[in-house]
Amino acid sequence: MPFHVMIIPTLRCPGMCKYCWGSDKQAEIMDISIVENIKEWLECFRCDDEVHFTFHGGEPLLPGYDYYKDAFKILNTLPNHSGYSMQSNLWLLDDEIADLLVENNVILSTSIDGPKEITDYQRGEGYYDKTMRSVHLAEDKGLYVSYVCTFTSYSKDYASEIYDYFKDLKATVKIHSALPSLRGENADPWALNQEDYGKLMVELLDKYLYDLDKFQIMDFDHMAKSSFIRRGTLCAFNDCVGDTLAVGHDGNIYPCYRFVGMDEYIMGNVKDKPTVEDLESSNAYKLLHEFNDYVKEDCKRCRFIKHCNGGCPYNGIVAAQSPKAVDPQCQAYKLIFQNMKDRQKQDLIKNGIPGMPGAKTSQEKEEGEPFTIMDLMTK
C-alpha cells in the first residue's frame, strides 16, 4: 500500500494571493535536521510500503538550493521512496535548483488562475509573469509542470476564457474552488458557493467533452473514473486518513498539509518516531475517524457515496468546526456526478454498450461531435 508524506518546509510565502488562507508571513523554515528526523522515522514506519513525498507550503522553494541538495540526499537513502512532487509558485526556481529537481525526477505543479489579467487580479500584480517565466525554465530543462486553477466568485464569470487559456497551453490542470476560511476573513468574498461551483463544473464538462484529446482537466478524468469503478480516485473522494500525512517545519505530523499549524491536529512528531498505532491513538486521528463514521451514517442513502466518501475531511471538519459534517461542496459534487450519470445513460442509448456488436466507438465519431462520457471514463 503506497502512502504519501507531504513535507511543509515553511508556511511562509512571498505571494499575496487575495483568497489565500494557508500562508503565514512570519513562519519559520524547516531545519535540515528535521529532514534527517523524517528519514529516521520512516525507516521504521510502514517501511514495507512505498512512500511518495510532496513538498508543499507556504512556498516550498524558500529554503533554497542547499536545503534541497541535502534533503534529496537524505531521503534518497530510503529504499521505499517512490518519487517526489512539489507544489510551488516557482518564483525562486533558478538553473541550479531546476537541475536538482531534474536529477531527482520531481513532478511540479504550480498555480495560475488563467490569463495574466485574471491571475494578477486574484493573485497580485506580477504573479503571472514570475510564475510563467519559471514554468518555461522548468520545461526547457525537461521538468513536467501541471497547473492548479482556482475559480473564485470573480473568475467564475470568465470560465470560457480560462478554459481556452489552459486548452491552448495543452495543460494538465486541476480545478480548485476558493473556500472561506476560519483562519482569516480575507478569503470570504472570493469563496465560490457550491451552487455556482456545481454549475461551473457542468459548464466546463460540456466543453471538455469536445476536447478530451487536446488537454487534461484532472478533476473530470478522476470523477469519471470514480463513477466508472465506483471508488474515489482523487484524494477528496478517497479515504485519505492515515495514507496521507504532512510534516510541518518543526517535525510535527498532521493528517494533511491543510491542517499544518493547527495545534489540535498534531498527531505526533517525527523526532519521537511514532508508530502507526501511536498516530492512531492521537486526538487528531480520532477526529478524522469521527468524520468517517459520520459520513458512513449521513451519506449512506446518497447514490454517490462510493465515488465521493463524504469529500475532503478538512473541508468538512474545518468549515463546520466539527467532525460531524461532510464536505460543504456536497451539493456541487452531487450535481456533477449526477450529470455524468445522465450523460452516460444518453450515450448508451445513442451509441450502444461499448464492446458489444453495433456499438459506436470514439474513432467513429463524426467531425465536430463530442466524445462520450465512456471515452472520458476510459481515458
Q: How far apart are CA 240 and CA 90, in angstroms?
A: 27
Instruction: List contacts with ligand SF4 (CB under 6 A).
Output: 235-236, 240, 244, 256, 258, 299, 302, 304-305, 308, 310-314, 326-327, 330, 333-334
Q: Is the separation of the CB atoms in 61 and 93 below 8 Å?
A: yes
Q: Is 313 or 323 the residue whose CB approaches ligand SF4 more closely?
A: 313
Q: Is 287 or 330 the residue whose CB approaches ligand SF4 more closely?
A: 330
Q: Is the separation of the CB atoms in 252 and 263 below 8 Å?
A: no
48-65 exposure pattern, b = at least 16 Cβ within 10 A, e = fewer: eeebbbbbbbbbbbbbee
Three-class SS state of 69:
helix
Shortest gap between Cβ of 349 and ligand SF4 (angstroms)?
Answer: 25
Q: How far apart are CA 111 and CA 88, in angstroms?
A: 7
Shortest gap between Cβ of 305 and ligand SF4 (angstroms)?
Answer: 4
Q: Is 136 or 296 the residue whose CB approaches ligand SF4 more closely?
A: 296
Read off φ and ψ for residue 90, nearest 5 degrees.
Answer: 70, 5
Q: Is 268 or 313 the residue whose CB approaches ligand SF4 more closely?
A: 313
Shortest gap between Cβ of 108 and ligand SF4 (angstroms)?
Answer: 18
Shortest gap between Cβ of 354 and ligand SF4 (angstroms)?
Answer: 26
Q: Is 29 or 235 the residue whose CB approaches ligand SF4 more closely?
A: 235
Q: Is 162 or 260 the residue whose CB approaches ligand SF4 more closely?
A: 260
Q: How far apart are CA 28 and CA 60, in angstroms?
A: 12
Shortest gap between Cβ of 60 and ligand SF4 (angstroms)?
Answer: 16
Shortest gap between Cβ of 8 and ligand SF4 (angstroms)?
Answer: 12
Q: How far apart are CA 194 and CA 202, in angstroms?
A: 12
Residue 160, Cβ neighbours under 10 Å: how many?
A: 11
Polymer length of the chain:
379
Compute CA 372 distance to the chain's CA centroid, rounded to the nearest angstrom.
26
